[in-house]
Amino acid sequence: MPTPDRTAAKEKFMAFLEEKNLRITSQRRAIVETVFGTDQHFTAEQLLEWARERDASVSRATVYRTLPLLTESGLVHEMDFGKDYKIYDPNYADHPNHNHIICDDCDKIVEFESDKLDALETEISSKLGFSVKSQQLRINASCEEMKKLGACKNKDH
């Protein structure tokens, strides 16, 4: 599974800018190329560093100004794992509602989606008089199955 249709994402974002009468500057181009040139999650600071490799003139302020545009466009997802920085996911358009299970023992993170879960959340929310805008489920767990199956290689015993 190589990088999906990143060109489409880039173009969608350019269209989004145009729609809002915002300009396509060289710095924004560098940032967008960077964001959709990876599948990895990243922090604002990482994005700054990477974007500067493409265009040294990109400043911290511009990165922080562009990030909200990216999330507003729906192409990038902002996530908060309780650390003191935020994490961004450039694959959001392809997996708009995914959740995370984190193994407390080995720090492995597995993503999953569930229509049942989404439906249940919507149902509960509307009962309480809310309309869902976004959701974030984090499950801390231990991956005992994995250990049984073959984690002997990376742990002692």
Partner DNA sequence: AGCAAGTCGAGACCGAGTCTCATTTGCAGG
Partner DNA sequence: CCTGCAAATGAGACTCGGTCTCGACTTGCT
The site for a second copy, by CB under 8 A, has a size of: 34
Which of 6, 36, 66, 98 binds DNA (CB under 7 A)? It is 66
Count of alpha carbons within 13 angstroms of residue 122, beta-carbon side? 7
Q: Give backbone dihedrals phi and psi of 6, rounded to 5 degrees, phi first.
A: -70, -35
Q: Give backbone dihedrals phi and psi of 69, rounded to 5 degrees, phi first.
A: -65, -40
| Residue 43 in contact with DNA, rule: CB under 7 A | yes
- Select 17 or 35, whichever has its Cβ closest to DNA: 17
Where in 67-96 is the site for a second copy (CB under 8 A)?
A: 80, 82
| Residue 62 in contact with DNA, rule: CB under 7 A | yes
Which of 22, 24, 61, 132 binds a second copy (CB under 8 A)? It is 132
Q: Among 81, 56, 86, which residue's Cα sits nearest to residue 70? A: 86
Question: Interface residues with a second copy (CB under 8 A)?
Answer: 80, 82, 101, 103-104, 110, 112, 114, 116-117, 120-121, 124-125, 128-146, 149
